[in-house]
Structure 1
Amino acid sequence: MKALGLVGARAPTGFTTSFHEPKQKRLRNNPFCVSCSSSSKTVQEQAKTVVLKSEYKPGVFDDFFLNLFRNKLVQEVGWDSQKPGYDGLIEVVNRLMKMGKTNSDTIEAAVRVLRALFPPFLLELYKIFIAPLGRGKIAAMMVARVTALTCQWLMGPCKVNSVELPDGTLCSSGVFVERCKYLEESKCVGICINTCKFPTQTFFKDHMGVPLLMEPNFADYSCQFKFGVLASPHEDDSVLKEPCLEICPNAAKRRTVARNIDVTTCPKT
Protein backbone atom coordinates (compact mmCIF):
# COMPACT_ATOMS: atom_id res chain seq x y z
CA MET A 1 0.00 0.00 0.00
CA LYS A 2 2.84 2.37 0.78
CA ALA A 3 4.34 1.75 -2.65
CA LEU A 4 0.98 2.46 -4.32
CA GLY A 5 0.75 5.75 -2.45
CA LEU A 6 4.13 6.81 -3.80
CA VAL A 7 3.09 6.05 -7.36
CA GLY A 8 -0.19 7.97 -7.06
CA ALA A 9 1.35 11.08 -5.44
CA ARG A 10 2.01 14.23 -7.48
CA ALA A 11 5.59 14.48 -8.54
CA PRO A 12 7.53 17.50 -7.26
CA THR A 13 8.33 20.31 -9.68
CA GLY A 14 11.41 19.49 -11.72
CA PHE A 15 10.81 15.78 -11.60
CA THR A 16 7.57 15.61 -13.59
CA THR A 17 9.33 14.90 -16.88
CA SER A 18 11.02 11.82 -15.40
CA PHE A 19 7.72 9.96 -15.57
CA HIS A 20 7.56 10.57 -19.31
CA GLU A 21 10.99 9.12 -20.03
CA PRO A 22 11.23 5.87 -21.99
CA LYS A 23 10.23 2.84 -19.94
CA GLN A 24 13.57 1.07 -20.29
CA LYS A 25 15.47 4.10 -19.07
CA ARG A 26 13.26 4.43 -16.00
CA LEU A 27 13.78 0.76 -15.18
CA ARG A 28 17.51 1.07 -15.62
CA ASN A 29 17.66 3.94 -13.12
CA ASN A 30 15.18 2.40 -10.71
CA PRO A 31 17.01 1.60 -7.46
CA PHE A 32 14.56 -1.25 -6.74
CA CYS A 33 15.68 -3.08 -9.88
CA VAL A 34 19.33 -2.63 -8.95
CA SER A 35 18.61 -4.08 -5.54
CA CYS A 36 16.97 -7.18 -7.06
CA SER A 37 19.91 -7.74 -9.39
CA SER A 38 22.36 -7.55 -6.53
CA SER A 39 20.31 -10.01 -4.47
CA SER A 40 20.05 -12.48 -7.36
CA LYS A 41 23.78 -12.34 -7.90
CA THR A 42 24.37 -13.21 -4.27
CA VAL A 43 22.06 -16.23 -4.52
CA GLN A 44 23.81 -17.40 -7.68
CA GLU A 45 27.19 -17.12 -6.04
CA GLN A 46 25.98 -19.15 -3.08
CA ALA A 47 24.54 -21.78 -5.41
CA LYS A 48 27.93 -22.19 -7.05
CA THR A 49 29.58 -23.14 -3.77
CA VAL A 50 31.32 -26.46 -4.29
CA VAL A 51 32.25 -28.91 -1.57
CA LEU A 52 35.71 -30.13 -2.46
CA LYS A 53 36.44 -33.80 -1.89
CA SER A 54 39.67 -34.73 -0.21
CA GLU A 55 42.27 -36.11 -2.58
CA TYR A 56 44.70 -38.88 -1.74
CA LYS A 57 48.36 -37.93 -1.77
CA PRO A 58 50.52 -40.86 -2.92
CA GLY A 59 52.66 -42.41 -0.19
CA VAL A 60 56.23 -43.67 -0.37
CA PHE A 61 55.16 -47.32 -0.64
CA ASP A 62 52.38 -46.85 -3.19
CA ASP A 63 54.51 -47.70 -6.22
CA PHE A 64 55.66 -50.86 -4.46
CA PHE A 65 52.09 -51.97 -3.71
CA LEU A 66 50.89 -51.14 -7.23
CA ASN A 67 53.75 -53.01 -8.90
CA LEU A 68 53.35 -56.00 -6.59
CA PHE A 69 49.63 -56.26 -7.30
CA ARG A 70 50.11 -55.73 -11.02
CA ASN A 71 52.85 -58.38 -11.24
CA LYS A 72 50.63 -60.98 -9.57
CA LEU A 73 47.78 -60.00 -11.87
CA VAL A 74 50.00 -60.32 -14.95
CA GLN A 75 51.11 -63.77 -13.81
CA GLU A 76 47.48 -64.85 -13.60
CA VAL A 77 46.48 -63.32 -16.92
CA GLY A 78 49.65 -64.11 -18.86
CA TRP A 79 49.64 -60.68 -20.48
CA ASP A 80 50.70 -57.14 -19.60
CA SER A 81 49.71 -53.73 -20.87
CA GLN A 82 52.15 -51.35 -22.49
CA LYS A 83 50.72 -48.52 -20.43
CA PRO A 84 52.50 -47.63 -17.18
CA GLY A 85 50.98 -47.16 -13.75
CA TYR A 86 47.30 -47.30 -12.90
CA ASP A 87 46.10 -47.06 -16.51
CA GLY A 88 48.03 -50.19 -17.38
CA LEU A 89 46.65 -51.96 -14.32
CA ILE A 90 43.09 -51.29 -15.45
CA GLU A 91 43.86 -52.72 -18.89
CA VAL A 92 45.15 -55.93 -17.32
CA VAL A 93 42.00 -56.14 -15.19
CA ASN A 94 39.89 -55.81 -18.33
CA ARG A 95 41.84 -58.69 -19.87
CA LEU A 96 41.14 -60.75 -16.74
CA MET A 97 37.42 -60.11 -17.22
CA LYS A 98 37.56 -61.29 -20.84
CA MET A 99 39.49 -64.46 -20.01
CA GLY A 100 36.89 -66.10 -17.82
CA LYS A 101 34.17 -68.11 -19.54
CA THR A 102 31.88 -67.33 -16.61
CA ASN A 103 31.81 -64.77 -13.83
CA SER A 104 32.72 -67.55 -11.40
CA ASP A 105 35.93 -68.13 -13.36
CA THR A 106 36.81 -64.46 -13.04
CA ILE A 107 36.07 -64.41 -9.31
CA GLU A 108 38.22 -67.49 -8.69
CA ALA A 109 41.09 -65.98 -10.69
CA ALA A 110 40.89 -62.74 -8.70
CA VAL A 111 40.96 -64.71 -5.43
CA ARG A 112 44.14 -66.46 -6.60
CA VAL A 113 45.72 -63.06 -7.26
CA LEU A 114 44.87 -61.90 -3.73
CA ARG A 115 46.26 -65.09 -2.20
CA ALA A 116 49.49 -64.68 -4.17
CA LEU A 117 50.12 -61.35 -2.43
CA PHE A 118 50.78 -63.11 0.90
CA PRO A 119 53.04 -65.93 2.06
CA PRO A 120 50.78 -69.00 2.44
CA PHE A 121 51.80 -69.64 6.05
CA LEU A 122 50.86 -66.08 7.04
CA LEU A 123 47.25 -66.52 5.95
CA GLU A 124 46.97 -69.88 7.68
CA LEU A 125 48.44 -68.57 10.93
CA TYR A 126 46.14 -65.57 10.92
CA LYS A 127 43.10 -67.75 10.34
CA ILE A 128 44.05 -70.21 13.10
CA PHE A 129 45.39 -67.94 15.84
CA ILE A 130 44.12 -64.39 15.26
CA ALA A 131 40.69 -64.78 13.68
CA PRO A 132 39.06 -66.47 16.73
CA LEU A 133 40.23 -63.82 19.25
CA GLY A 134 37.49 -61.77 20.88
CA ARG A 135 34.86 -63.67 18.92
CA GLY A 136 36.36 -62.34 15.72
CA LYS A 137 36.28 -58.66 16.61
CA ILE A 138 40.03 -58.24 17.09
CA ALA A 139 40.85 -59.76 13.70
CA ALA A 140 38.16 -57.66 12.03
CA MET A 141 39.52 -54.43 13.53
CA MET A 142 43.07 -55.37 12.57
CA VAL A 143 42.33 -56.01 8.90
CA ALA A 144 40.22 -52.85 8.73
CA ARG A 145 43.20 -50.75 9.79
CA VAL A 146 45.62 -52.53 7.50
CA THR A 147 43.21 -52.08 4.59
CA ALA A 148 42.85 -48.35 5.24
CA LEU A 149 46.62 -47.92 5.51
CA THR A 150 47.78 -49.99 2.55
CA CYS A 151 45.01 -49.84 -0.07
CA GLN A 152 44.45 -46.15 -0.68
CA TRP A 153 46.68 -46.31 -3.75
CA LEU A 154 44.03 -48.62 -5.24
CA MET A 155 40.78 -47.19 -3.87
CA GLY A 156 41.53 -43.57 -3.02
CA PRO A 157 40.94 -41.79 0.32
CA CYS A 158 39.36 -43.99 2.96
CA LYS A 159 39.04 -44.15 6.73
CA VAL A 160 38.20 -46.60 9.49
CA ASN A 161 34.67 -46.23 10.87
CA SER A 162 32.26 -48.08 13.13
CA VAL A 163 29.80 -50.63 11.77
CA GLU A 164 27.07 -52.69 13.36
CA LEU A 165 27.90 -56.37 13.81
CA PRO A 166 25.35 -59.20 13.65
CA ASP A 167 25.11 -59.27 17.47
CA GLY A 168 23.94 -55.65 17.47
CA THR A 169 27.15 -54.16 18.87
CA LEU A 170 29.18 -51.43 17.22
CA CYS A 171 32.76 -52.15 16.25
CA SER A 172 35.43 -50.03 14.57
CA SER A 173 35.93 -52.69 11.92
CA GLY A 174 34.60 -50.75 8.97
CA VAL A 175 36.42 -48.93 6.18
CA PHE A 176 34.64 -46.20 4.26
CA VAL A 177 35.98 -45.38 0.80
CA GLU A 178 34.99 -41.85 -0.14
CA ARG A 179 35.13 -42.31 -3.92
CA CYS A 180 36.54 -45.56 -5.22
CA LYS A 181 39.28 -44.93 -7.77
CA TYR A 182 39.10 -48.53 -9.00
CA LEU A 183 35.43 -48.20 -9.92
CA GLU A 184 35.86 -44.73 -11.35
CA GLU A 185 38.77 -45.73 -13.58
CA SER A 186 37.35 -49.09 -14.70
CA LYS A 187 33.94 -47.49 -15.39
CA CYS A 188 32.30 -50.89 -15.03
CA VAL A 189 29.87 -52.44 -12.54
CA GLY A 190 30.89 -55.92 -13.66
CA ILE A 191 34.58 -55.29 -13.01
CA CYS A 192 33.76 -53.91 -9.56
CA ILE A 193 31.64 -56.93 -8.65
CA ASN A 194 33.64 -59.77 -10.21
CA THR A 195 37.22 -58.59 -9.68
CA CYS A 196 36.83 -56.71 -6.40
CA LYS A 197 33.68 -57.13 -4.29
CA PHE A 198 33.02 -60.88 -4.58
CA PRO A 199 36.69 -61.98 -4.67
CA THR A 200 37.64 -59.78 -1.71
CA GLN A 201 34.73 -61.04 0.39
CA THR A 202 35.67 -64.63 -0.46
CA PHE A 203 39.36 -64.08 0.23
CA PHE A 204 38.91 -62.66 3.72
CA LYS A 205 36.29 -65.20 4.76
CA ASP A 206 37.87 -68.37 3.35
CA HIS A 207 41.57 -67.60 3.67
CA MET A 208 41.80 -65.27 6.68
CA GLY A 209 38.75 -66.33 8.66
CA VAL A 210 37.24 -62.82 8.71
CA PRO A 211 33.71 -62.33 7.34
CA LEU A 212 33.37 -59.28 5.10
CA LEU A 213 30.48 -57.46 3.49
CA MET A 214 31.28 -54.80 0.89
CA GLU A 215 28.58 -52.30 -0.08
CA PRO A 216 29.55 -50.28 -3.18
CA ASN A 217 27.42 -47.25 -3.98
CA PHE A 218 27.26 -46.86 -7.75
CA ALA A 219 25.65 -43.43 -7.49
CA ASP A 220 28.54 -41.63 -5.78
CA TYR A 221 31.27 -44.33 -6.15
CA SER A 222 31.71 -44.68 -2.40
CA CYS A 223 32.07 -48.08 -0.76
CA GLN A 224 31.55 -49.38 2.77
CA PHE A 225 33.63 -52.33 4.00
CA LYS A 226 32.12 -54.17 6.97
CA PHE A 227 34.64 -56.60 8.44
CA GLY A 228 32.98 -59.02 10.83
CA VAL A 229 29.70 -59.04 8.86
CA LEU A 230 28.95 -62.10 6.76
CA ALA A 231 27.97 -61.41 3.15
CA SER A 232 25.06 -63.18 1.49
CA PRO A 233 25.75 -65.78 -1.22
CA HIS A 234 26.75 -64.23 -4.54
CA GLU A 235 23.61 -65.30 -6.34
CA ASP A 236 21.42 -63.62 -3.69
CA ASP A 237 23.28 -60.31 -3.63
CA SER A 238 21.14 -57.38 -4.77
CA VAL A 239 24.21 -55.80 -6.36
CA LEU A 240 23.68 -58.11 -9.34
CA LYS A 241 20.63 -56.04 -10.27
CA GLU A 242 22.65 -52.86 -10.62
CA PRO A 243 22.45 -51.20 -14.06
CA CYS A 244 25.43 -50.19 -16.13
CA LEU A 245 27.17 -46.97 -15.22
CA GLU A 246 26.45 -43.97 -17.41
CA ILE A 247 30.19 -43.62 -18.03
CA CYS A 248 30.62 -47.25 -19.12
CA PRO A 249 31.98 -47.20 -22.71
CA ASN A 250 30.55 -50.64 -23.46
CA ALA A 251 27.10 -49.58 -22.26
CA ALA A 252 27.24 -46.49 -24.47
CA LYS A 253 27.95 -48.67 -27.51
CA ARG A 254 25.12 -51.03 -26.61
CA ARG A 255 22.67 -48.13 -26.33
CA THR A 256 23.42 -47.03 -29.88
CA VAL A 257 22.89 -50.46 -31.45
CA ALA A 258 20.30 -51.96 -29.09
CA ARG A 259 16.90 -52.87 -30.41
CA ASN A 260 15.24 -55.52 -28.27
CA ILE A 261 18.09 -55.76 -25.78
CA ASP A 262 17.89 -54.79 -22.11
CA VAL A 263 20.68 -52.24 -21.80
CA THR A 264 19.93 -51.37 -18.18
CA THR A 265 21.54 -54.49 -16.70
CA CYS A 266 25.30 -54.84 -16.88
CA PRO A 267 26.05 -57.87 -19.11
CA LYS A 268 29.10 -58.66 -16.98
CA THR A 269 27.05 -59.29 -13.84
Structure 2
Amino acid sequence: MNPLSLPYPSSFSSIPLIKSRNFHLRTSKICLSCTSPGAKLIESDKTIEYKPGPLDDVFLNMFRNKMVKEVGWDSEKPGYDGLIEVANRLMMKGKNNSDTRDAAVRILRSFFPPFLLELYQLLITPLGGGKVAAAMVARVTALTCQWLMGTCKINSVDLPDGTSCESGVFVERCKYLEESKCVGICINTCKLPTQTFFKDYMGVPLLMEPNFSDYSCQFKFGIPPPLPEDDEALREPCLEICPNATRRRGVAKEVEIVQCPKA
Protein backbone atom coordinates (compact mmCIF):
# COMPACT_ATOMS: atom_id res chain seq x y z
CA MET A 1 0.00 0.00 0.00
CA ASN A 2 3.09 2.76 -1.71
CA PRO A 3 2.92 2.39 -3.14
CA LEU A 4 1.08 3.90 -0.24
CA SER A 5 0.84 7.65 -0.30
CA LEU A 6 0.01 10.61 1.86
CA PRO A 7 -2.10 13.72 1.21
CA TYR A 8 -1.14 15.77 -1.80
CA PRO A 9 -1.11 19.57 -1.93
CA SER A 10 -4.00 21.03 -3.88
CA SER A 11 -1.48 22.69 -6.17
CA PHE A 12 2.07 21.72 -7.05
CA SER A 13 2.98 25.39 -6.80
CA SER A 14 2.37 25.19 -3.07
CA ILE A 15 5.42 22.93 -2.61
CA PRO A 16 8.27 25.11 -1.36
CA LEU A 17 11.33 24.94 -3.58
CA ILE A 18 14.10 25.54 -1.07
CA LYS A 19 17.75 24.90 -1.82
CA SER A 20 19.56 22.94 0.83
CA ARG A 21 21.80 19.93 1.06
CA ASN A 22 18.67 17.73 1.11
CA PHE A 23 16.98 19.41 -1.83
CA HIS A 24 18.09 20.48 -5.29
CA LEU A 25 16.43 21.64 -8.49
CA ARG A 26 17.96 21.84 -11.96
CA THR A 27 15.89 24.05 -14.21
CA SER A 28 17.34 22.74 -17.47
CA LYS A 29 16.20 19.25 -16.63
CA ILE A 30 13.99 19.04 -13.59
CA CYS A 31 15.53 16.90 -10.88
CA LEU A 32 13.86 16.90 -7.50
CA SER A 33 15.20 15.12 -4.46
CA CYS A 34 13.31 15.74 -1.26
CA THR A 35 13.36 14.80 2.38
CA SER A 36 11.20 16.07 5.18
CA PRO A 37 12.60 18.70 7.55
CA GLY A 38 14.99 17.15 10.02
CA ALA A 39 15.62 14.06 7.94
CA LYS A 40 19.19 13.15 7.10
CA LEU A 41 20.85 11.15 4.38
CA ILE A 42 23.87 9.27 5.66
CA GLU A 43 26.56 8.16 3.21
CA SER A 44 27.78 4.59 3.61
CA ASP A 45 30.11 2.44 1.49
CA LYS A 46 27.48 1.10 -0.91
CA THR A 47 24.23 2.90 -0.33
CA ILE A 48 22.59 5.97 1.16
CA GLU A 49 20.72 5.38 4.38
CA TYR A 50 17.63 7.46 5.03
CA LYS A 51 17.28 8.61 8.62
CA PRO A 52 13.71 9.68 9.47
CA GLY A 53 13.08 13.19 10.76
CA PRO A 54 10.30 14.59 13.00
CA LEU A 55 7.72 14.91 10.23
CA ASP A 56 8.33 11.32 9.20
CA ASP A 57 7.09 10.16 12.60
CA VAL A 58 3.94 12.21 12.05
CA PHE A 59 3.41 10.63 8.63
CA LEU A 60 4.03 7.13 10.00
CA ASN A 61 1.54 7.60 12.84
CA MET A 62 -1.08 9.01 10.47
CA PHE A 63 -0.72 6.07 8.11
CA ARG A 64 -0.64 3.51 10.90
CA ASN A 65 -3.80 4.97 12.48
CA LYS A 66 -5.63 4.71 9.15
CA MET A 67 -4.50 1.11 8.75
CA VAL A 68 -5.46 0.23 12.34
CA LYS A 69 -8.92 1.67 11.79
CA GLU A 70 -9.37 -0.52 8.71
CA VAL A 71 -8.00 -3.64 10.38
CA GLY A 72 -9.60 -3.15 13.80
CA TRP A 73 -6.40 -4.18 15.55
CA ASP A 74 -3.09 -2.62 16.55
CA SER A 75 0.29 -4.04 17.39
CA GLU A 76 1.93 -3.52 20.74
CA LYS A 77 5.20 -2.77 18.98
CA PRO A 78 6.07 0.91 18.45
CA GLY A 79 7.12 2.60 15.24
CA TYR A 80 7.81 0.87 11.95
CA ASP A 81 7.92 -2.64 13.44
CA GLY A 82 4.37 -2.19 14.65
CA LEU A 83 3.29 -0.90 11.25
CA ILE A 84 4.59 -4.06 9.60
CA GLU A 85 2.65 -6.23 12.06
CA VAL A 86 -0.53 -4.31 11.25
CA ALA A 87 0.17 -4.84 7.52
CA ASN A 88 0.46 -8.56 8.18
CA ARG A 89 -2.88 -8.50 10.01
CA LEU A 90 -4.42 -6.66 7.05
CA MET A 91 -3.32 -9.56 4.85
CA MET A 92 -4.90 -12.10 7.20
CA LYS A 93 -8.16 -10.20 7.65
CA GLY A 94 -9.43 -10.47 4.08
CA LYS A 95 -11.10 -13.61 2.77
CA ASN A 96 -8.96 -13.33 -0.35
CA ASN A 97 -6.39 -11.09 -2.00
CA SER A 98 -9.08 -8.94 -3.56
CA ASP A 99 -10.42 -8.05 -0.10
CA THR A 100 -6.93 -7.03 1.00
CA ARG A 101 -6.43 -4.83 -2.05
CA ASP A 102 -9.82 -3.17 -1.62
CA ALA A 103 -8.98 -2.42 2.01
CA ALA A 104 -5.64 -0.88 1.02
CA VAL A 105 -7.37 1.34 -1.55
CA ARG A 106 -9.83 2.51 1.13
CA ILE A 107 -6.89 3.43 3.35
CA LEU A 108 -5.38 5.55 0.59
CA ARG A 109 -8.69 7.24 -0.17
CA SER A 110 -9.20 8.09 3.50
CA PHE A 111 -6.37 10.64 3.32
CA PHE A 112 -8.26 12.80 0.84
CA PRO A 113 -11.58 14.66 0.90
CA PRO A 114 -13.60 13.19 -2.01
CA PHE A 115 -13.99 16.58 -3.69
CA LEU A 116 -10.20 17.04 -3.80
CA LEU A 117 -9.70 13.87 -5.83
CA GLU A 118 -12.55 14.83 -8.15
CA LEU A 119 -11.11 18.30 -8.67
CA TYR A 120 -7.67 16.87 -9.39
CA GLN A 121 -9.08 14.64 -12.11
CA LEU A 122 -11.14 17.51 -13.52
CA LEU A 123 -8.59 20.32 -13.44
CA ILE A 124 -5.08 18.82 -13.32
CA THR A 125 -5.18 15.42 -14.98
CA PRO A 126 -6.08 16.72 -18.48
CA LEU A 127 -3.18 19.21 -18.58
CA GLY A 128 -0.43 18.41 -21.05
CA GLY A 129 -2.00 15.13 -22.02
CA GLY A 130 -1.65 13.87 -18.46
CA LYS A 131 2.07 14.62 -18.16
CA VAL A 132 1.60 17.49 -15.71
CA ALA A 133 -0.41 15.34 -13.30
CA ALA A 134 2.05 12.45 -13.62
CA ALA A 135 5.04 14.69 -12.89
CA MET A 136 3.25 16.31 -9.96
CA VAL A 137 2.34 13.08 -8.19
CA ALA A 138 5.84 11.73 -8.76
CA ARG A 139 7.38 14.71 -7.00
CA VAL A 140 4.95 14.68 -4.12
CA THR A 141 5.45 10.93 -3.69
CA ALA A 142 9.20 11.50 -3.41
CA LEU A 143 8.57 14.38 -1.03
CA THR A 144 6.22 12.63 1.38
CA CYS A 145 6.91 8.90 1.27
CA GLN A 146 10.58 8.34 2.03
CA TRP A 147 9.61 7.58 5.63
CA LEU A 148 7.82 4.49 4.27
CA MET A 149 10.03 3.43 1.37
CA GLY A 150 13.48 4.81 2.11
CA THR A 151 15.70 6.93 -0.12
CA CYS A 152 14.18 7.69 -3.52
CA LYS A 153 14.75 10.05 -6.43
CA ILE A 154 12.93 11.42 -9.46
CA ASN A 155 13.91 9.93 -12.81
CA SER A 156 12.74 9.92 -16.41
CA VAL A 157 10.44 7.28 -17.89
CA ASP A 158 9.49 6.52 -21.48
CA LEU A 159 5.76 7.04 -22.06
CA PRO A 160 3.52 5.00 -24.38
CA ASP A 161 3.34 7.89 -26.89
CA GLY A 162 7.09 7.68 -27.49
CA THR A 163 8.00 10.74 -25.42
CA SER A 164 9.72 10.79 -22.04
CA CYS A 165 8.78 12.56 -18.83
CA GLU A 166 10.39 12.96 -15.44
CA SER A 167 7.44 11.23 -13.82
CA GLY A 168 9.34 8.31 -12.35
CA VAL A 169 10.32 7.65 -8.75
CA PHE A 170 13.14 5.21 -8.12
CA VAL A 171 13.25 3.69 -4.64
CA GLU A 172 16.78 2.55 -3.99
CA ARG A 173 15.87 -0.06 -1.38
CA CYS A 174 12.25 -0.30 -0.28
CA LYS A 175 12.05 -0.48 3.48
CA TYR A 176 8.45 -1.73 3.38
CA LEU A 177 9.44 -4.77 1.30
CA GLU A 178 12.66 -5.38 3.18
CA GLU A 179 10.99 -5.27 6.60
CA SER A 180 7.91 -7.30 5.63
CA LYS A 181 10.03 -9.90 3.80
CA CYS A 182 6.92 -10.86 1.86
CA VAL A 183 6.04 -10.75 -1.83
CA GLY A 184 2.34 -10.97 -0.95
CA ILE A 185 2.39 -7.92 1.31
CA CYS A 186 4.25 -5.95 -1.37
CA ILE A 187 1.82 -6.97 -4.12
CA ASN A 188 -1.49 -6.81 -2.25
CA THR A 189 -1.04 -3.95 0.22
CA CYS A 190 1.22 -1.74 -1.90
CA LYS A 191 1.74 -2.33 -5.64
CA LEU A 192 -1.74 -3.28 -6.88
CA PRO A 193 -3.83 -1.01 -4.62
CA THR A 194 -1.52 1.96 -5.23
CA GLN A 195 -1.79 1.46 -8.99
CA THR A 196 -5.58 1.23 -8.66
CA PHE A 197 -5.83 4.32 -6.47
CA PHE A 198 -3.89 6.61 -8.76
CA LYS A 199 -5.67 5.43 -11.90
CA ASP A 200 -9.24 5.30 -10.54
CA TYR A 201 -9.22 8.25 -8.15
CA MET A 202 -6.59 10.64 -9.54
CA GLY A 203 -6.75 9.72 -13.21
CA VAL A 204 -3.01 8.99 -13.38
CA PRO A 205 -1.90 5.60 -14.72
CA LEU A 206 0.87 4.03 -12.66
CA LEU A 207 3.11 1.03 -13.14
CA MET A 208 5.14 -0.11 -10.14
CA GLU A 209 8.04 -2.49 -10.76
CA PRO A 210 9.40 -3.96 -7.52
CA ASN A 211 12.69 -5.80 -7.74
CA PHE A 212 12.61 -8.70 -5.31
CA SER A 213 16.34 -9.32 -5.63
CA ASP A 214 17.69 -5.96 -4.45
CA TYR A 215 14.45 -4.52 -2.93
CA SER A 216 14.47 -1.53 -5.26
CA CYS A 217 11.25 -0.31 -6.86
CA GLN A 218 10.52 1.81 -9.91
CA PHE A 219 7.36 3.93 -9.98
CA LYS A 220 6.32 4.93 -13.52
CA PHE A 221 3.55 7.53 -13.38
CA GLY A 222 1.84 7.97 -16.73
CA ILE A 223 2.31 4.34 -17.78
CA PRO A 224 -0.60 1.88 -17.46
CA PRO A 225 0.19 -1.44 -15.76
CA PRO A 226 0.01 -4.65 -17.82
CA LEU A 227 -2.81 -7.13 -17.51
CA PRO A 228 -2.42 -9.35 -14.41
CA GLU A 229 -1.50 -12.35 -16.55
CA ASP A 230 1.32 -10.34 -18.12
CA ASP A 231 2.68 -8.78 -14.93
CA GLU A 232 5.96 -10.45 -14.04
CA ALA A 233 5.75 -9.27 -10.43
CA LEU A 234 2.65 -11.40 -9.91
CA ARG A 235 4.57 -14.52 -10.89
CA GLU A 236 7.39 -14.00 -8.39
CA PRO A 237 8.16 -16.87 -6.01
CA CYS A 238 8.28 -16.28 -2.30
CA LEU A 239 11.40 -14.65 -0.93
CA GLU A 240 13.73 -17.15 0.67
CA ILE A 241 13.66 -15.06 3.85
CA CYS A 242 9.84 -14.94 3.94
CA PRO A 243 8.74 -16.48 7.29
CA ASN A 244 5.68 -18.08 5.71
CA ALA A 245 7.71 -19.56 2.85
CA THR A 246 10.27 -20.94 5.30
CA ARG A 247 7.55 -22.70 7.27
CA ARG A 248 6.02 -24.19 4.12
CA ARG A 249 9.38 -25.46 2.87
CA GLY A 250 9.84 -27.19 6.19
CA VAL A 251 6.56 -29.04 5.68
CA ALA A 252 7.00 -29.75 1.97
CA LYS A 253 10.70 -30.51 1.68
CA GLU A 254 10.39 -31.43 -1.97
CA VAL A 255 9.39 -27.84 -2.79
CA GLU A 256 12.37 -25.51 -2.67
CA ILE A 257 10.83 -22.38 -4.22
CA VAL A 258 7.07 -21.96 -4.42
CA GLN A 259 4.74 -19.30 -5.75
CA CYS A 260 3.73 -16.89 -3.03
CA PRO A 261 0.14 -17.87 -2.06
CA LYS A 262 -0.72 -14.24 -1.46
CA ALA A 263 0.61 -12.85 -4.78
Q: Which has the higher contact order (CA 8 A, sep 6+)?
A: 2
| Cα drift, residue 233 of structure 1 | 2.9
Aligned to 2:206: 212
Q: Which one has a larger percent helix, Structure 1 or Structure 2?
A: 1
Name 2:190's counterpart in structure 1: 196
Secondary structure (helix, strand or coil) at the match of 1:174 reads strand
Given candidates 107, 119, 125, the residue that maps to 2:119 is: 125
How many equivalent residue pairs?
220
Q: Which runs of 5 or more residues in structure 2 are unaligned?
A: 1-43
2:84 aligned partner: 90
Rounded to whole Å, the distance in 2 between the matches of 1:83 and 1:188 is 19
Q: Is the 8 A contact 1:188 1:244 kept in 2?
A: yes
CA contact (8 A) 1:163 1:226 kept: yes
Residue 36 of structure 2 corresponds to residue 56 of structure 1:
no
Provide Cα deviations, 1:136-181, integer angstroms capped at 9, x if missing partner: 0000000000000100000000000000000111100000000000
- Mapped partners of 1:122, 1:87: distance in 2: 32
CA shift, 1:189, in A, is 0.2
Report the residue type matching 2:171 in the other structure.
Answer: V
Distance 1:199 1:162 in 2: 23
SS in 1 for 2:95: coil
In structure 1, list runs of 5 or more residues that go unmatched: 1-49
Report 1:117-196 matches (<5 A).
Answer: 117-196=111-190
1:242 maps to which of 215, 231, 236: 236
Deviation string, structure 1 residues 18-55 (Cα, Å, up to 9, x no partner): xxxxxxxxxxxxxxxxxxxxxxxxxxxxxxxx942101
Deviations 1:96-142 (A, max 9, x none): 00011111111001000000011221111111110110000000000
Alignment RMSD: 1.3
Report the equivalent of 1:113: 107
Deviation at 1:246, TM superposition (A): 1.4
Secondary structure of the structure 2 residue equivalent to 1:265: coil
Q: Which runs of 4+ in 1 moved over 6 A?
A: none
Distance in 1 separating the partners of 2:217 and 2:259: 20
Find the aligned partners of 1:193 and 1:262 in 2 and give their Cα distance. Answer: 21
SS in 2 for 1:56: strand
Give the Å deviation of 1:216. Answer: 0.3
Name the counterpart of 1:38: none
Conserved? CA contact 2:184–2:261, under 8 Å: yes
> Identity of aligned pairs, percent?
75
1:235, distance to aligned residue in structure 2 (A) = 4.2
Q: Which residue in the other structure is 2:13 paired with?
A: none
Query: 1:220 deviation in Å?
Result: 0.4
